[in-house]
Each structure stands twice: as C-alpha cells, then as structure tokens.
Amino acid sequence: MTHRGLGGYLGDVERFFCVVRMSGLVLSPKDAEKVRRWYLDGIPMRVVLDGIAQGVRAHARSAARGERSPHSLAYYARYIGARVRGFRKAGPPPHDAEASCVPPKGGLNSRTSGAGAVLEHLVSEVGLLVLPEERETERRVKERVLEGLKGLLERAGELDEGALSYELQRLDDDYLGFYDSALTAGERGEVDRMVEGKLRGEKGLSPRAVEGRRKALRANVLRTRLNILDMAE
C-alpha cells in the first residue's frame, strides 16, 4: 500500500486502476515512462489517482450501460495532466512531505508512510466501487466496508503498522462474514461449488490444510464477487 519507491508507485497506479475500472491494467512502456516522470517530479500519488478517478467518472457519464472505461492509461492522461498542472500551480503546502513522492533525506515521516495515507487510499478506492454498484446486497457490503475504513481513518494517529494490519484484517473478516451470511441459498451454493472445484485442483493437502485452504479460497471467491482486493495484504 505504501509507495516503496518507483516500483511501488507504478504498482499502486495499476492496482488503483484495477479497482476503479473493475479490470486490470498493464502499463505500456510509454505509460510507465509518464508515471516514472510524475514520480521523479515529486507528484503525489493522490494527484495521479484523483486524475484516474475523474477520467473513470467522466467516461461513465457518457458510456453505454455495462461499457468499461478504456484500458489504456493514455486515455486518462488529460485528466491526470489537469490535476498535475493544478498541483504545480498551487504548490505544496509548507512542510507537507506528502507533496513529494520521492522520499526525503532521513526517510519518510509518519504522515507519508503511516496509517493515514494507507487508509485515505483505501477510502478512495472503495468509495469509487460503491458508485457503480447496482446489486443491492453487494452495495450494502461495500458501504459497510467504506464506513469501517472511515472509522479507522478517524483513528489513524493511534495506529502503527502492526495495529493497522490487525484492524484491516478484522474489517476484512467482518465484511466477508456479513456478505456470506447475506447471500441467498442459491448464491451460497454457487460459491460452495466454486470453492470445492478450486480445492480439487490442489493435491496432497492434509485434512487440516484442506480446511485452511477452503477458508482462504472462499474468501477469495467472495472478494471476486465483490471486486474488492484484499485490504489486509
């Protein structure tokens, strides 16, 4: 979730795009060079992600029902570029280390590397997932996730890396359990069949390991139905 240098910055762009577009994105060499330049110029990740989100929303307003946003980052360059120009014109607030994605000497401070930055990123991701969700149950689950993340964001100053990981895992378990219990009998049976099908492909597991894998596979199937990535990773 943190930038982890240029590689992490590129990875976060791809991950965010995957979430808001509900499909993956592999950056072309040309797109990757643009992202690299933003990184080296000290453009905050939030500026780039805001531009992508604005482009996704703009496309959704004029697109046919069910039509996905363009898969190339080049389509969103004008939206990102507008955000970048606005950021450069305004200039970073004094002593705002978050304004630069290049780690300053002495390392990242608690604001850029701490729980607040991670949670703001997740709130943005899940908030964008709620907007296009037309399935009633899935919308309720995503709204539950969003409220949980906002609650954690209010406590961000209290959370170190270990505490944040623990709280995200608790939230992950909570919403998956809630979703599983809210499925109809038919939907639950469909999930069961998918899980058992995947499990049959994993040979040589002990009985104890089988139960652990069944639980993990079920969680992955439920996340896929929701199109939410594992927040506790």
Q: In the numeric block, which tokens belong to residue 81? A: 């570029």
Question: Phi, psi (5° rounding) for residue 66?
Answer: 85, -5
For the chain, counts of helices (H) and of strands (E): 10, 0
The one-digit pLDDT tens for each residue of the chain (233 residues) are 344 577 777 777 776 666 555 555 566 788 888 888 888 888 887 788 788 777 877 777 776 666 666 777 778 888 888 888 888 887 654 444 333 344 333 333 333 346 787 788 788 778 877 876 788 999 999 999 999 999 999 988 888 878 888 898 899 999 999 999 999 999 999 999 999 998 888 888 788 888 888 898 999 889 888 877 666 65
Which residue among 72, 104, 136 closes a domain?
104
Same domain? For 137 and 39 the reply is no
Give dist(CA 4, CA 9) in Å, integer.
Answer: 7
Same domain? For 94 and 131 the reply is no
- Identify whether 134 is part of a domain: yes
Same domain? For 170 and 215 the reply is yes
Same domain? For 14 and 129 the reply is no
Same domain? For 168 and 225 the reply is yes
Which residue among 52, 83, 104 closes a domain?
104
Same domain? For 220 and 131 the reply is yes
Same domain? For 98 and 2 the reply is yes
- Identify whether 109 is part of a domain: no
Closest CA to 195 of 165, 218, 224, 228: 218
Give the DSSP letter of residue 209: H
Give dist(CA 29, CA 24) in Å, integer.
Answer: 16
**Contacts with 165 (C-beta within 8 Å, 6 or more apart), sequence order:** 232
Same domain? For 57 and 138 the reply is no
**Contacts with 148 (C-beta within 8 Å, 6 or more apart), sequence order:** 171, 174, 175
Same domain? For 90 and 119 the reply is no
Which residue among 85, 104, 123 closes a domain?
104
Task: Specify the pLDDT at position 204.
Answer: 80
How many other CB atoms are there within 10 angstroms of residue 65's CB atom?
5
What's the domain count of the chain?
2
Domain span including residue 199 = 114-233
